[in-house]
């Protein structure tokens, strides 16, 4: 199964990751997943401002021509020297808060960069929630609420991690089944999702 694990060097960033993951609410999951595509709408309040932000986006499996791209290392990042780590900026692009810059993500497989196709602002979180639920409840997309709109990428990664548990990737499942040591764990003090 694909897995996502994060590692932060600063305690402040670790706390932000833990708080965001704990307080993220997934209102709706996709009913049907398209091959290599995870659609989402993520919204939340702006820190220090009385407004809310909604992002419509997708995590799409990276491909080379028509073949999916998988991170080559499969296993516990602590056991393999953290190869496979990439920064949150590499996965989420430019729309990452300064506070999260440098957060390392171990994103085993498939490699799914996040992209945002639409970003809208609203004055009130409650109205934003009502509007998002009204507009997207009949759409085959995940609806995710984050406690801080600037941490939208963490909320989206939490959703992807849950998808990996509920609907595992067939290639990685096949690899795992053929491994002789299947006891690998993705836990530990510095890992926030596993």
pLDDT, the chain, mean = 78
Mean pLDDT within 81-94: 74
Structure tokens at 1: 């199964």
Mean pLDDT within 91-107: 84
pLDDT band for position 45 (50/70/90)? Answer: very high
Which range has the worst mean pLDDT, 122-126, 169-173, 184-188?
184-188
Indicate if the pLDDT at residue 37 is higher than 60: yes
Q: Which of 7-11, 46-50, 123-127, 173-177 has the highest mean pLDDT?
A: 123-127
Strand, helix or coil at 127?
helix
Higher per-residue pLDDT: 82 or 159 = 159
Closest to 88 in 3D by CA, of 178, 149, 7: 7
Strand, helix or coil at 5?
strand
* Cβ contact 43:128 at 8 Å: yes
Which range has the worst mean pLDDT, 2-11, 138-147, 167-176?
167-176
pLDDT band for position 65 (50/70/90)? Answer: low
CB-based contacts of 113-118 (< 8 A; 24+ apart in sequence): 113/59, 113/60, 113/62, 114/57, 114/58, 114/59, 114/153, 114/156, 114/157, 115/57, 115/58, 115/59, 115/60, 116/55, 116/56, 116/57, 117/56, 117/57, 117/58, 118/55, 118/56, 118/57
Indicate if the pLDDT at residue 125 is higher than 70: yes
pTM of the model: 0.78
* Cβ contact 113:60 at 8 Å: yes
* Cβ contact 172:108 at 8 Å: yes
Residue 5, φ and ψ in degrees, nearest 5: -130, 145
pLDDT band for position 28 (50/70/90)? Answer: very high
Residue 113, φ and ψ in degrees, nearest 5: -60, 150
């Amino acid at each position: 199964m694909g897995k996502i694990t994060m590692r932060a060097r600063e305690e402040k960033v670790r706390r932000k990751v833990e708080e965001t993951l704990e307080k993220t609410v997934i209102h709706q999951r996709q009913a049907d997943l398209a091959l290599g595509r995870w659609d989402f709408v993520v919204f939340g309040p702006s820190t220090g401002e009385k407004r809310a932000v909604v992002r419509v986006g997708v995590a799409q499996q990276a491909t080379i021509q028509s073949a999916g791209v998988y991170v080559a290392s499969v296993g516990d990042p602590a056991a393999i020297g953290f190869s496979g780590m990439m920064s949150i900026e590499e996965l989420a692009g430019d729309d990452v808060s300064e506070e999260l810059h440098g957060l390392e993500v171990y994103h085993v497989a498939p490699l799914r960069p996040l992209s945002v196709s639409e970003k809208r602002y609203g004055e009130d979180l409650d109205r934003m929630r009502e509007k998002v639920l009204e507009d997207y409840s009949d759409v085959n997309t995940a609806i995710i609420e984050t406690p801080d709109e600037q941490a939208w990428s963490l909320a989206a990664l939490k959703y992807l991690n849950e998808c990996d548990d509920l609907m595992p990737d067939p290639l990685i499942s096949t690899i795992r089944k053929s491994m002789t040591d299947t006891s690998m764990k993705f836990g530990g003090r510095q890992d926030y999702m596993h």
